[in-house]
Amino acid sequence: MQLKGIHHIALNVTDLDRSEHFYTDVLGFNVTHRFSKGLRHIMLDTGNALLALFETPDLNMESALEQLSDKGYMHFAFETNREEFIKIIDELKDKKVPVDSGPVVRGEGESIYFKDPDQNHLEIRCDAKS
């Protein structure tokens, strides 16, 4: 078997419009596709993989995330370079996105941790060599 990499990661969100605003206006991703059949969802271009946001308005996100975290899901991380990392921290502050932790040194890089509007755990990381 030879796979090419990750095509997309999917997240459940309770309000697709609110989440689209966060992921496009705050994080700067672009919507590539919109789907209204079945679960309403969008695909976002993150640079090297797609992020799918599925609207599940009745999902108890707190309970779902607690279950996932207990089973091993903690977060997923976006990558940037050193110069952008410093700018991103300021941008998140300007956009009133609370940083839960960081910047902290992890291995050979630095990370910040924060949440999207549905409390999905996110990280932005820059390697020391970038």
Phi, psi dihedral angles at 128 (to 5 degrees): -60, -30
Q: Domains, the chain, ranges and CATH?
A: 1-59 (3.10.180.10), 61-130 (3.10.180.10)
Which residues fall within 8 angstroms of residue 105, CB to CB, at 6 or more apart? none
Please give the structure tokens belonging to residue 23.
Answer: 């992921």
Please, what is the Cα angle at 87 between 81 and 90, to 5 degrees?
140
Q: Which residue has the higher pLDDT, 100 or 64?
A: 100
What are the angstrom distances between the C-alpha of 58 and each of 14, 51, 54?
A: 7, 21, 12
Contact of 121 with 17, CB cutoff 8 Å: no
pTM of the model: 0.84
User: pLDDT digit string (tens) for 73-89?
Assistant: 567 889 999 999 999 99
Sheet of 30-35, strands arranged across: 8-13, 50-55, 41-45, 30-35
Among 58, 77, 78, 71, smallest CA distance to 118 is for: 58
Q: How confident is the model at residue 125 (pLDDT cuts 50, 70, 90)?
A: very high
Distance CA 120, CA 118 (A): 6
Which pLDDT belongs to residue 69? 59
| Residue 106: per-residue pLDDT | 84
| Strand runs labelled E in 62-120 | 76-80, 99-106, 109-115
